[in-house]
Structure 1
Amino acid sequence: MEIFLIKLLQVALALSILVFVHEGGHFLFSKLFGVRVEKFFIFFDPWFHLFQFKPKNSDTTYGMGWIPLGGYCKISGMIDESFDTEQMKQPVQSWEFRSKPAWQRLLIMAGGVLFNFILALFIYSMVLFTWGQSYIPLKDMKMGMVFNETAQQAGFRNGDILLSADGKPMKRFDIDMYRMMSNAKTVDVMRDGKKKTIVMPEEISLLTMVKETPAFARPYIPSKIDSVMPDTPAAQVGMSKGDHIVAINGTEISSWNEFDMQIGILKDRLAAAKPTTKDSMKVRMATFAFRHGGTGHIDTVKVTLTPELTLDVGKASLADFYKPVTIEYGFLESVPAGAKYGIGVLRGYVDDLKYVFTADGAKSLGGFGAIGNLFPPTWDWMLFWQMTAFISIMLAFMNILPIPALDGGHILFLFYEIITGRKPSENFLLRAEYIGFAILILLLVVANLNDVLRWLGYM
C-alpha cells in the first residue's frame, strides 16, 4: 500500500506540473495576442471541481478539476472540447481567437507542445547540473551479460561483454543499447578474451527484446545479499548482508538473474495451484542454500516465502561490483548537454512508435497504471525529474499528432488555411472535434484496459 501511495503521489505531482505548463503555453500566447481566456483549469471538471476562483477585474476563472486526464484552457471564439457552439453564433469580437490572423492562432495552439518540450529540455539540463551523469560502461562489465533463449539462439552466450553494434560502440545498459542492437546487422562481443561478431536475425525487434521475460540481455549480477530487514523470511532463517544465495530447490544459482528465473518458475506453479490448498503452501515452502559472507560456510534451509513469493532481501547492484563513471556538468555545460539528451530521447520515442501499429505493440499500450510504473517505489528526486521530463516529451509528441481534438489537429487545419487561404467551416471543425474526441476516449479505454488485463495476469 505504501508503494502504491508513493507512486500515486509522484504521478499526481508530475501530471500537475506538466498540465500546468502545457496549458500555460496556450494561455501566455493567447494573452500575448490579446485573446481572452475564459477558464484555466488543471485537470477536467465535469459536474464539479475541487476549487476555482476568479480574480477581480479578470476575464479568467482559475481552478482544478478532479479527472487527471489533462487540463483545460477555454479560449474565447474557438471550437474545442467544450463544444461551445452558442458563442460561435454571435458576432466576431476583437478579443476572440477566430478574429486573429492564422499565424497567431497557430502559435497559440502550438504553445502547449512547445512549452512541454522546453520544460523537458530544462529538466534534463538541471538533472545533469545537479546530479551529473553516472553509468557503468558496458565494456567494463567484465562478468558480462546474461542472455535469454532468443538471444542465445542468435549466437550470444552468457558472459559475453557487449562492445558495438554495426561498428558503433555501445556505451551503457539502457534502452538505447537495445535499440542499437535491434537495428544492427552485426553485434561485436568479447568472449573468453577474443572479439566475436554475431549476425543479428532480421526478425528480432526492439519490442521483442524488451517484452520477453526474461529480457534479451541483462547485466550479470552475483546473488549477493545487500540487506535483510527484521521479521522477513530471509531474517528468520539466518540470512544476512554479504551472504550469497547458491541454490533454490536443488537448482544451483550464482546470480540474481538466475534467482529471478527460479522464482518465476515458482510463480507459475503457484498460479496453477488453488490458493486455499496444501499445494499452494508447498510452493511457498522452498529450499534455499546460501553461503555466509564471513565464513564461506553453506547452510541449506527451508524458507516460507511470502504469499507473493518474495524472500524480502535487498539485492546487490552493479555498483557493488563495478565503479561507475561520473560526468559532472557546470551550469553552462548542462544546457546544451540536456538539450542533446532530450532530443535523443524524443528521437528514440518517435522511432519506437512504429511498434504501436503491430499486434504486440497495441497490447503494450498503457494508461495510468503504466505511467505509475515508470516511477520508482521509493521517492527519488533524480528519478522523479527524469520520468517527468520523459512524460513531458511523450505528451508533447502525442499532442502534436494530427488528430482532431488534439493540438495537432487544430494545427493541421491552420496549416490548411495558411496554404489555401480558406478557413474550414465551423460545422466541419465541430464534427472533426467530435470524431477526434471519440478516438481519444477509445484509446484511453484500450490503454487502461490493457493495464487491468496485465494486473489480472491475462497479458
Structure 2
Amino acid sequence: MEIAIKLFQFILSISILVILHELGHFLPAKYFKTKVEKFYLFFDPWFSLAKKKIGETEYGIGWLPFGGYVKIAGMVDESMDTEQLKKPAEPWEFRSKPAWQRLIIMMGGVTVNFFLAWLIYSCLSYFKGETFHDNAKFENGIAVTDAGKKMGLHTGDRILKIDGKPAERMETSTVNMLFANNVTVLRDGKEVTFPVNEDGVAEVLAQREAKAYFAPRFPTVIDSLTPTGNAKAAGLIKGDEITGVNGKPVAFFDQFSEELARYKNQNITLDIQRNHVPQKIEVKVDPQGKLGFTTDTSVAQKEFEKTQVVKSYTFLESIPRGFQRTIDVLTMQVKQFKI
C-alpha cells in the first residue's frame, strides 16, 4: 500500500509539473491568437485514456507517462507532424507569427519552470530554512586527499574565499573550487591565497573525488580489529583513541596515517586513551603502513555534524533567497555536467 501511495504521489507531482510547463506554451499561444490543436498530459501514440474537444483544442490524457505536449498549428513539435508545413502559412499558424511572438511561445515552458522553482525555493527558505555545512565551523580545518593537496590545499586549512567571494557552504565549495582560479584559506593563522593547480583538478576528476577531496578532521578511535592483525596482537581494543606515535601528538586520523607511513615494517609506541586513562602500547607497523584496524565512523560523523547549521529567513528575505537558490542550482547543474 505504501508503494502505491508513493507511486501516486510521484505521478501526481509529475503531472502538475507537466501541466504547468505546457501552460507556459499554451497561454502565450492563445494570447497571440495562434491555433492550439492539442493539450495533452502524457503522450498518446495510437490512443488516449481520455479526451475532450473544447473549441478548437482537444484536451486529453495519454497513456505514456513521459511528459506531455501542446500541439500548435504550424509548429513541428513532439508529434513530428510535418504535413502542415507543405501548405501555405495561415494567419493563425505559429510559423506566420512575428519572431518575438514565436520566441515567447517557445520559451514559455522554461519560463514557467524557472518561476515555479523560484516559488518552491522561496517557500522552502521561509518554512524550512536551509541546512548546510558551514566552512567556518571546521574548527580544526580540513583533511585533504592527495589529489586535493595537488590542487593546492593543505590539511588543516580553513576555506574562506573562492575567487575572492566568501565560501560559506561546503556543499557548493567542493564543486566551485574545481572551476576556480584561486582560493583563500586560513593556514597556520594567516590568510593565504593560492592559484588552483589544474593538474590537481584533473586528478580529482579522474578519481571521481569531486565531492570528497576534503572532509572534516576527526580523532583516531578504533572500531574493529583484524583477527590476525598487529593491532590485536599488541592488545589494542575497540574504543581506544590513539593520541600519539613515538611521543609525537597525533590529534587526528590524517596525522596518524602520515606517521604510520613513515614507520613501515618498524616497531612504534602508541599513546592511547582507554576509558579516559592514558596508556602506551608497543606495536609493529606492517609493510603497507597499517596496523590492522578500522576507525569508528560514528566519530567522524559526529565531527561532521558539528559543522551543520540551519539558516532561517523572514518572509521578505525568503523571496530574494529563493531567487538566488534557483540561480545557484542551475549554475551547479551546469558545472556538474562538466565534471
TM-score above 0.5: yes
Asked if structure 1 preserves the Cα contact closer than 8 Å seen for 2:141 and 2:217, the reply is: yes
Structure 1 residues 317, 195: CA separation in 2 closer, same or farther (over 3 Å shift)? same
The Cα of 1:198 is off from its aligned counterpart by: 4.9
The Cα of 1:119 is off from its aligned counterpart by: 1.3
| Residues 50-449 of structure 1 mapped to structure 2, 5 A cutoff | 51-54=49-52, 56-57=54-55, 59-68=57-66, 70-90=67-87, 92-180=89-177, 182-191=179-188, 193=189, 195=191, 198-205=194-201, 208-209=204-205, 211-212=208-209, 215-220=212-217, 246-249=223-226, 250=229, 317=301, 321-322=305-306, 324-351=308-335, 353=337, 355=338
Look up the equivalent residue of 2:57 and give its one-letter code: D
The yes-or-no answer on 1:22 pairing with 2:6 is no
Question: Which stretches of structure 1, 4 residues or longer, exceed 6 Å deviation after superposition?
Answer: 8-11, 251-254, 291-296, 313-316
Aligned residue for 2:57, secondary structure, equals coil
Look up the equivalent residue of 2:44 and give its one-letter code: D
Aligned residue for 2:42, secondary structure, equals strand
Structure 1 residues 213, 344: CA separation in 2 closer, same or farther (over 3 Å shift)? closer
CA distance in 1, matches of 2:202, 2:18: 30
Asked if structure 2 preserves the Cα contact closer than 8 Å seen for 1:162 and 1:188, the reply is: yes
Aligned residue for 2:223, secondary structure, equals strand
**Across the two proteins, how many residue pairs are aligned to each other?**
284
| Residues 37-52 of structure 1 mapped to structure 2, 5 A cutoff | 37-49=36-48, 51-52=49-50
CA deviations on 1:422-448 (whole Å, 9 max, x unpaired) are xxxxxxxxxxxxxxxxxxxxxxxxxxx
CA distance in 2, matches of 1:138, 1:340: 20
Look up the equivalent residue of 1:31 and give its one-letter code: K
Give structure 1 stretches of 5+ with no counterpart: 224-243, 259-290, 297-312, 356-360, 362-459
Aligned residue for 1:34, secondary structure, equals coil
CA distance in 2, matches of 1:155, 1:194: 16
The Cα of 1:74 is off from its aligned counterpart by: 0.8
CA distance in 1, matches of 2:275, 2:111: 54
CA distance in 1, matches of 2:304, 2:154: 24
**Largest Rg, 1 or 2:** 2
RMSD of aligned Cα (Å):
4.4
CA deviations on 1:144-186 (whole Å, 9 max, x unpaired) are 3232221234454444332333543321111344313541334
CA distance in 2, matches of 1:23, 1:138: 41
CA distance in 1, matches of 2:217, 2:126: 31
* Deviating more after overlay: 160-169 vs 326-335: 160-169
Decide which structure has greater strand share: 2
The Cα of 1:319 is off from its aligned counterpart by: 7.9
Asked if structure 2 preserves the Cα contact closer than 8 Å seen for 1:145 and 1:161, the reply is: yes
Asked if structure 2 preserves the Cα contact closer than 8 Å seen for 1:183 and 1:205, the reply is: no
The Cα of 1:37 is off from its aligned counterpart by: 1.9
**TM-score of the superposed pair, with normalisation by structure 2:** 0.66
CA distance in 2, matches of 1:128, 1:33: 36
Structure 1 residues 154, 320: CA separation in 2 closer, same or farther (over 3 Å shift)? closer
Give structure 2 stretches of 5+ with no counterpart: 242-251, 254-272, 279-296
Look up the equivalent residue of 1:205 and give its one-letter code: V
Asked if structure 2 preserves the Cα contact closer than 8 Å seen for 1:78 and 1:97, the reply is: yes
Give the share of equivalent positions with the same residue, in percent: 37
Look up the equivalent residue of 2:68 and give its one-letter code: G
The Cα of 1:124 is off from its aligned counterpart by: 1.3
Structure with higher RCO (Cα < 8 A, 6+ apart): 1
Decide which structure has greater helix share: 1
